[in-house]
Amino acid sequence: MRSDPAEYELIAPGKLPSILSLLAQQPGQWLPIAGGTDVMVQFAAGKLAARRLVSIWNLPELRGIEIASDEIRIGAGCTYTNLREHEIIAREFQLLARAARWTGGIANQNRGTLGGNIVNASPAADSLPALLAYEAELILVSVRGERRVPYVGFHTDYKRMNLQPDELIRTICLRRNLSGYFHFARKVGARNAQAISKLCVAAVGRIEIGRVAGGRTANVVGDVRIALGSVAPTPLRLTEVERMVQGQSITPELLQSASRAAMASIQPIDDIRSTAKYRSAVAGNLVVEFLDQLCTSGTQRE
């Protein structure tokens, strides 16, 4: 253990308004800590720069999953276990439930929170591609009130985000508008459990009836959202690929183009876990696998 606990302050006011006041009065001075599965690893490694922490673990305002007819609202303090075990998330937002399952083991799932995953902003974070694919919206709170922002674009660069120093993420909102969508996710890690991802994909899509060359109708790609993690400083929507495939029928040629476009839109790196070349190629392969399975899902629905 490479840090001295005597040098750190940790307080737990226990109420969201007190915490928000603290963050407003002393911006940038207090690091919020939820389940600690990221912060405490840095602490143990002697790499936690912040010396003053404020606990946001188990705040009632940050827990709970509200179900409305058009959206679900997930408290940022919900753990991966909460996500896994929630019937509606498991049914309608499978990618998030799956991401929760493959984050760490059970013990870490019981403590890691969705809000923490967002704010820790690792490019390899497991749940973020799912949030991109589901076009989540975040409700941010501070003493100044709350604001609702799309998750797409929330992360602006490596570990940088659209979050003011006095703000906390309170809620993650997912619109329940995915009926008829096919969901696809895959994590490529160094092993089947407890692995930081080398890359991961979360994608949703619909097959629709559309017009193709020659005026015929055929199955074409309708709305499609493809998100990748670990291939850029932030999780990424492959908007180029999405534009390319929308309205097209899925042919081997389209798959090849989509793969190439995917590889062109990402910036993977060589690091201790993997290589840029590998990540690039596998990203292309996963996009192909998604579109392939999307195609099959559309055919099967007839």
Partner 1 sequence: MTENNIIGKSVPRKEGRDKVTGAARYIDDMTLPGMLYGATVRSQIPRGKIKKISFDPEFAWSEFVIVTAEDIPGKNCIALIGDDQPCLANGEVNHPEEPTLLLAHENPHLLRKAVNAVSIEYEPMPAIFSIEESETQSQIIWGRDNTFKTFLISKGEVDTVWSKADYIVEAEYTTGAQEQLYIETNGMIAAFDADQGVTVWGSLQCPYYVHKALMALCDLTEDKVRVVQMETGGAFGGKEDYPSMIAAHAALLAMKARRPVKIIYDRMEDMTATTKRHPSRTRHRTAVSKTGKILGGEIEFTIDGGAYATLSSVVLSRGTIHAGGPYYWPNIRIRAKAVATNAPPHGAFRGFGAPQSLFAMERHMDRIAGVVGLSPVEIRRVNFLKPGDTTTTQQIVREEIDLAKLLDRALELSEYTAKKNRFAKENATGAIRRGVGIAAFLHGAGFTGSGERYLSSTVGVEGCADGTVRLLVSSTEFGQGTSTVLCQVAAEALGLPYEDVQIAQPDTAQVPNSGPTVASRTAMVVGNLVRSAVLGIKQTLTASGALPAPYTPAQFREACRKYISERGELRSFARYEAPPGVFWDDDNYRGEAYAAYAWAVYVAEVAVDLVTCGVDVKDFVALQEVGRVLHPVLAKGQIAGGVAQGIGFALYEKVVWQNGRMQNGQMTNYIMPTSADLPPIRVFFEELGNVHGAYGAKGIGELPMDGPAPAVVNAIEDALGIRFDSIPLMPEDIFAAVSEETCADGVR
Partner 2 sequence: MRDTFENGPKIDRSLGELSLCDLSLTVNGTARTVRVYPMQRLLDVLRNELGLTGTKEGCGEGECGSCAVLMNGELVNSCLIPALQAANSDLVTIEGFAGNPQFTALQSAFLECGGAQCGICTPGMILASQHLLTKNPEPTLDDIREALSGNLCRCTGYMQIFEAVARAAQLRSIV
The CB-of-86 to partner 2 minimum distance in angstroms stands at 15
* Residue 11 touches which member of partner 2, partner 1, none, C-beta under 5-8 Å by kind: partner 2
CA distances from 277 to 24, 154, 233, 251 (A): 45, 27, 16, 25
Q: Residue 53's binding partner, choosing from partner 1, partner 2, none, with beta-carbon cut-off 5 to 8 A by kind? A: partner 2
By the criterion CB under 8 A, which residues form the site for partner 1?
Answer: 1-6, 41, 45-46, 105, 188, 190-196, 255-256, 259-260, 263, 272-275, 277-278, 280-282, 284-286, 288-289
Residues 228 and 262: their CA atoms lie apart, in Å, by 10
Residue choice 21, 81, 162, 257 for contact with partner 2 (CB under 8 A)? 81
Stretch that binds partner 2, among 89-97, 101-109, 223-231, 233-241 (CB under 8 A): 101-109
217 binds partner 2 (CB under 8 A): no
Residue type, 218: A
Tokens for 30? 């207090």
Q: What is the DSSP string of 86-104?
A: -HHHHHH-HHHHHHHHTSS
Q: Are 259 and 285 in contact (CB under 8 A)?
A: yes
Interface pick for partner 2 out of 27, 105, 165, 180 (rule CB under 8 A): 105
Using the minimum distance from each CB to partner 1, give the nearer residue, 65 or 100.
Answer: 100
The answer to whether 60 contacts partner 2 (rule: CB under 8 A) is: no
Of the candidates 122, 111, 118, 70, the residue with the CA atom closest to the CA atom of residue 96: 118
Q: Look at residue 54 and give the partner it binds from partner 2, partner 1, none, a contact being a CB closer than 5 to 8 Å depending on partner kind.
A: none
Taking the least distance from each CB to partner 1, the nearer of 2 and 91 is 2
- 37 near partner 2, rule: CB under 8 A: yes
162 DSSP assignment:
S
Contact 205, 222 (CB under 8 A): yes
Quote the CA–CA distance of 138 and 22 in Å, as a whole number: 22
State phi, psi for 273 to the nearest 5 degrees: -95, -30
**Contacts with partner 2, residue ranges (CB under 8 A):** 1, 3-12, 33, 35-37, 40-41, 43-45, 53, 55, 57-58, 81, 104-108, 110-111, 192-194
